[in-house]
Amino acid sequence: MSLFPKERFNDNKTYAFIDETGNYGFDFDKEGVSSHFIITAILVNDKDLVEVRKECNEIRNKYFQTGEMKSQSISKNDVKRFMILADVSKLQFNIFSIIIDKRKFREHSNIKTHKKTFFKFLNKLVHRELHLAYQNLELIRDEHGSKEFMDEFKNYIVKKYPLTLFGDYQFSFIDSKDDTLIQLADFIGGTISLGFEEHRKRQNYGNFMSIIKHKVTALKEWPQSYEDYVFNAESIQNPEFNESIAKYSLRLQNEFIRDNSSSPKSEIQDQVRFLRYLEFHMKYINSNKYVSTNEIITNFDSSGNKLNKHYLRTSIVAKIRDAGVLVASSSQGYKLPVSEKEIYDFINHSSTIIIPMLTRLRLCREGVSMATNNQLDILDKSEYKELKRYFELNK
């Protein structure tokens, strides 16, 4: 399992250990009411479950002794959080998280009584995302405390699949004190909240996420907001940031994902995963840096794909660009562009390949023409008419 999961296309069972960060209240003037509600799942493949649970328990003993591995337990101790994240990032699991800005939910729903509507919205959102990616899934939740969301979600699935009961889902409830993977979901969810919850935001959030970025299957915000991203980009004081380019590239990327995320074709799914990773890196890691080709290939390899540079370039990046999506590239890798310079990076990088090839082709054409006393023009075939037109215009 990795940034590019294939579980939807096989029968492997996946366990999702779920925890919720935030609460259901909408009176934001009231103390303790969260601005965001975050659902986080730790995803573990059936074959890895025993070993991951054992290793996670060892990490808990190392940092929390007999206590639970809770995000709140270490509060503002960033050094300890770094150490724990570094250790858990070595385990075989992935992260699925949905982040809902409750303030914007109120704006979008325009309903005074929110809780029931909020649950219906969460049910549809979580089901849509999980159902697309995982065919055989067991959801496991802490049996203590507030478990309203999971109860409501279970009822939603029963109603949606009356003949097959839970459809692709199974449900279990476990005491979090007895299961470190539920505790890990709490710890990761709490870490994610440090980038969103108004009273908890931390400068080290980007550094935290960089440690576990290779574990993220999905980190989805609702609603998606280009304005939020623009604010974040300005806050890191990128002097070359261009709001129009950033918003345009994000809009094209999101439209491609929306139109293609349900495709059964593995090549298109690879394109969707590639764009989701670029978006993740842009919004949560560093909008100014390129993602190296080696990093992308490593993530694909870890999910069982036989990816190489040729496939990445021709079947993923080229096809995405053919669809009109902006993907900047340079010798450093790929990214979603946020500046004029990055657009020129792509042009300059392309010109170093295209111009020499066109020059070689021109020399070949001229040489063959001379050798045959102007009897043979190698570009006379119909499939080369665009190339011939280019050379005729540039004589």
Angle (deg, nearest 10), helices 180-193 and 78-88? 130
Q: Where are the domains of the chain?
A: 1-223, 340-393
HSE (side-chain half, CA atoms, 13 Å) at 311: 14
Choose among 17, 9, 386: nearest CA to 188: 17
Strand pairing report for 94-101 and 216-222: parallel
Q: What are phi and psi of 292, to 5 degrees?
A: -70, 150
Query: Does 223 sit behind a cis peptide bond, omega within 30 degrees of 0 on the bond before it?
Result: yes
Give the span between the Cα atoms of 344 and 329, in whole angstroms. 9
The per-residue pLDDT string of the chain (395 residues; one tens digit each, 9 = 90 and over) reads 334 444 433 457 899 998 888 888 888 888 888 889 999 999 999 999 999 999 999 999 999 988 899 999 998 899 999 999 999 999 999 999 999 888 887 665 545 445 777 777 787 778 777 776 677 888 888 776 556 777 777 787 777 765 444 456 788 878 888 899 999 999 999 999 999 988 888 888 989 999 998 898 888 887 765 544 544 544 445 678 888 888 888 889 988 988 898 888 888 988 988 998 888 788 777 788 898 998 888 766 544 556 789 989 999 999 999 999 999 998 899 999 988 999 888 888 778 888 888 888 989 988 998 888 888 999 999 888 888 888 888 76
Rounded to two decimals, what is the model's pTM? 0.66
Q: What is the CATH number of domain 1-223?
A: 3.30.420.10
Radius of gyration of the chain (CA): 25
At 278 the three-state DSSP class reads helix
